[in-house]
Each structure stands twice: as C-alpha cells, then as structure tokens.
Chain A
Amino acid sequence: MSDITSKSLFELTSNIKEKKLSSGEITKAFIDRAEKSKKLNVYVTDNFEKAIDQSKKFDSNPNFDLKLPGIPIAVKDLFCTNGVRTTAGSKILNNFVPTYESTVTQNLWSQGAILLGKLNCDEFAMGSSNETSFFGNVQNPVGENLVPGGSSGGSSAAVAANLTPVTIGTDTGGSIRQPASFTGTVGLKPTYGSCSRYGIVAFASSLDQAGPMTKNVRDCSMLLEVISSFDQKDSTSIDYKRNCYSKELSKDIKGKKIGIPKEYRVDNMPDEIEQLWKNGISYAKDCGAEIIDISLPHTNYALPTYYIVAPAEASSNLARYDGVKYGFRSHGQNLIEMYEKTRSEGFGDEVKRRIMIGTYVLSSGYYDAYYLKAQKVRQLIKKDFDDAFSKVDAILTPSTPSSAFKIGEKTNDPVSMYLNDIFTVPINLAGLPGISIPAGKDKNNYPLGLQVIGKPFDEQNILNISYALEDKINFKNDISDWWLSE
C-alpha cells in the first residue's frame, strides 16, 4: 500500500504505538515499493530478508517506549554496518563487510529501528550529483534523467520517492543539504561534534558530520534527537547537553533576529532563487522575526579554501586503501606496484583527482603556500560568522545556486560541479549547524531549498525557524511515481 510509505516518521511511530500498523506491515510496504523502484538505483545493498525477520521479532515483543519502534530505515552506504557490506560507493570497498557498527547507526537500532539497506552515494562522498558512484548514478524522483544531488543522492532520492521513511546522510561540504534541496526534502547538518564520526568512512575529518534527511522538519527533529550523542570513540565528539529536539519544537520565533548576508547574492543566480529568498524573508517577518542585513565578507573564499582543506584531509584518510587487509586488490610484480595498481584501478576519477590535489598541497615546498594559507583563511571565514552571530540568532540563505541539473551536464567540468556547494561549504568550514528546507519550485517545477544557519549547538533554534517557515511555505512535491515498474 502506497499510503503507508507516504506517511511521515511521526505518523508511522504514532500508528505503531496505537497498534494501527505493525512493524511487519510497514517494513513490507517499503520493501514492495523498493522492488518496483529499481530504476532509481537508490540501493547498493539491500537488507530486505533480515529486515522482515527483525520486524516480525519486533511485533512479537514490541517495545513502544523506543523512539523508532520497529521503523525500517535505509542509510547512506558510508556508515559501517556490522555484517552488512559497506562500499562508500567505491570499487575499492566493493566486497568490504565491516566487523563493527557506526555509533550513529547503532543509535538508530538501539531505539528500535530496522536496517532496510545501504543507499547509493558519490564515491567516498566526493561529488555533488551522485554520478561518481561505482554503482552508477541515481535518478531523482522529481524528474527523469535529473541528478538527485550529492553526495547523499541515494538518500535524498529514497526519502523523496517514499522508499524509506527517513534516512541519515553525511555532509562534508553540502552533501546532505544540497541533495535535500534538489529533491524537495529536509536535510540537516549538525554542529561539528554533535554526531559521532565513529564508523563513518572518513572523507575530510575536520568537516564530516552525519545528519538526518526527512520529509519534514518535525521528522528531522525526531531523528536528530536519536543520532546526536556524545561518544568516547570519536575524539572530536563534544560532551554537552543535547535538547529533546522534537519535544521542544515550536513555531514561535517571535523576536528572533535573522541575518541576511549580502554576499550570498551571487552572479548569474536565477531570478527564481532571488524570489524564493525574498519570500522566505517575508514569511519570517510574518512569523514575528526581525530581519537584519549582515555581511560575511570572506564568503567568496570559502570554496577555494574547501578545495585545499578537504582534498588534503582526504588524501591522508584514503592512504589506508592499499589492497592489503581488505577491499579490492590488483596484482603487481612487487609491493609498490601492487599498491599503485590497486589504487589506480580501485578509485574512480574524481577521487583520484582529489587525492592528487591533496597530495600536492601537502607536499614538500607547497604546504605553506596552500594548506597553511587555507587554514588561515578558514579562520577568517569562521570569524565572519562569529561576528554575525553577535548580532543575529540565525542566518537565512538559499541552499543552492540552482535547481537539480541533468545527468551528465556537469561531469566534464569539475569546477562548475564544485560551484554547486557555494552556499553550503562555508558552514562546514565554520563547524556550524545548517538545515535545508524545501521552499518552492523553479520554472521547470524542480524543487528549490532555503538554508537556515545557526550558532554552534543551536540546532533547536534552526529547527524552530524551519518549522515556522515550513508552515508558511506549505511546499508540495507532486512526485508522479514515473519510475514504478510492475
């Protein structure tokens, strides 16, 4: 029944608690729909058989005190899942079966959720369109041959297509918020240190964060509440008191000061996005918020900074893929040749490009000119936000400079692909929380998102502002199920 799969997480948990639906019925409904949705290519690995067993187990001895009681959930294939293949979208991890569980997914299962399967993503989360995945591109349910965004493209498509009630993605430079924007869904990147990075395939360690991707803001608050936790196993996890985000969710944003940064008005930005932003501003005013013009003067330097810091960290993190202990191995006459061929054949072009950039900027003689310079500019970018947040409670911007583009449209021009993340990257560099909510459509009827940025650890505030805006915007996705097969 499609009406089960179109329900929100809030509705599904209520239905289970009121015994209107069983975990078995819900799990089966999502699996049935997935079987007819292969054309979207959202799954890399499914866990359907085990999921059915687990849902029956839940129903025979249900615990309704849990926050995700018997709820089936598919997750991005960047989270290590004990005993279930985890590929990070790469050939080099094609046959890798983790012997441990990421903290964030463990938090889901501890609250009663059931793993549906692993969702497609850009290789090692490097991409903005899900086209760098070894397992092929993902179709955006919004329209045929349209990218779902990236890197959490399988995740955004799965939520938009009702193939999972909610999901979790990861965001290093926009990988949750940009795909959410492209598919008319909600995606939140928490403050750095909010969600544990333990067991997540590392891309750029000082930027990576896991976060919820959902149909609406309330579901987002429910899921964040489950996945955000202090974890001894991640040395950058921060021990602070986390809110009960869903309980404290409120549309009352009267008197909140919302900043509008003039630097986010970029050249060649479509009029529709400018208009969307204006609408968002007037909705915020209607809700009683105070609008304040602000300046984030180093915004234009965020992307170049990111394209030094992220590849540098990636080149170091990806050094472990050498074909020795796990993953794909090619053959060589000696050890060095084995390494070189393994990495040459195991990594895709974008990953190799970024490893090369990272290796170069960290190499002898170039470190000061590039890496150190970038870390200094990163300080300036962070200071821009510190200054802004002395005047305002949150910042409102568009999520992306365009709507979803066609598959293949930007694959030959890395720099034009990178420009997709122009509004999301600064937030990762500054370690702040940011959320993208669907806010309207362009002339092709493709969704567009608005981003709300908050102070560190102030997720409650950006959730509340989004909750209030969501109510005023009243976005409808109108997805036609064009991909379904019998």
Chain B
Amino acid sequence: MSIDLKTVKHISKLARISIDDEKANKLKGDLNNIFEFIEKLNELNTDNVQALTSIAETTLRFRKDEIKSENIREKILKNSPEENKDFFVVPKVVE
C-alpha cells in the first residue's frame, strides 16, 4: 500500500497543518518509507489477541470536585498571543 499526494494533502487538512506542494512531495516519500517499515506488523496474526489499552492496570480514581488554584487569570492571559481585556482574541468567526 502506498500513500499518494492526495492522501498527504487530506491528512494535512485533518491535522490542521498547511503544506505546499514541495513539502507534500517530500512528506509523501518519508511517510511511505515509514509505513513500509510499519507494515511488518502484518506478519503477525493477532485475531485472538486482546488490545492493550492501559499499561498500568489501575482503575481511575474519583476525587472531590473542588477549586484548588487561586485566581490566575492575569498570568494566563499574559501567555496569550493577542488579548483584549479578559478575552482571547481570534480572527472573526461569524460573518
């Protein structure tokens, strides 16, 4: 199985990473090499194997739902690329 240019562009769309044609062609080559290597798994019959979903066989714990952190709104907003008072600003979404 090989990955074509159209698929590469489709994946880049899903991953929200824009790529130009030159990059897409380079990626196509890389991905095909990597998947050729990955295809080795098909040698194994895994029909009766249960998938491993958690390596640490623990059950998730419950905790009380309570606020523990102080008000750090200002500190959080300081990391924002663009802010306006108490809001994160993004390009216009509603036309």
Contacts and interface: CB of A to CB of B under 8 A. Distances in A.
A373 B46 contact: yes
Interface string B49-74: 11111111010110100000100100
A332 B38 CA distance: 36
B17 A338 contact: no
Nearest to A419: B37
Contact of B31 (A301, A324, A357, A374): A357
A329 B91 CA distance: 11
Q: Which 4 A-B pairs have the closest CB atoms?
A: A329-B81, A431-B55, A326-B79, A375-B51
Contact of A356 (B17, B37, B91): B17
23 contacts: A97-B78, A99-B75, A193-B58, A206-B54, A236-B54, A301-B40, A301-B43, A308-B41, A323-B81, A324-B81, A325-B76, A329-B82, A335-B90, A352-B19, A359-B15, A377-B41, A377-B46, A414-B34, A415-B34, A418-B37, A429-B55, A431-B55, A431-B56
Interface residues of B, number: 51
B91 A334 contact: yes
Interface in B9-48: 11-12, 14-19, 27, 30-31, 33-34, 37-44, 46
Q: Is the interface of B mostly helix, strand, loop or mixed?
A: loop
Contacts of B50: 376, 379
Contact of B88 (A308, A325, A355): A325
A315 B15 contact: yes
A359 B58 CA distance: 28
Contact of B41 (A192, A304, A326): A304
A326 B55 contact: no
A236 B59 CA distance: 9
Nearest to B95: A334
B41 A305 contact: yes
A382 B55 contact: yes
A376 B52 contact: yes
A296 to B, nearest CB: 14
B90 to A, nearest CB: 6
Contacts of B3: 360
A84 interface: no
Interface in A258-316: 298, 300-301, 303-305, 307-308, 315
A327 B78 CA distance: 10
A380 B34 contact: no
Nearest to A351: B17
Contacts of B2: none
A83 to B, nearest CB: 9
Nearest to B42: A373
A340 B11 contact: no
A407 interface: no
A363 interface: yes
A344 to B, nearest CB: 4
B92 interface: yes
A305 B49 CA distance: 15
B81 A344 contact: no
Contacts of A95: 79
Nearest to A431: B55
Interface string A66-80: 000000000000000
A355 B91 contact: no
Nearest to B49: A376
B41 to A, nearest CB: 5
B19 to A, nearest CB: 7
A335 B91 contact: yes
Nearest to A93: B79
B80 to A, nearest CB: 6
Contact of B11 (A99, A300, A341, A356): A356
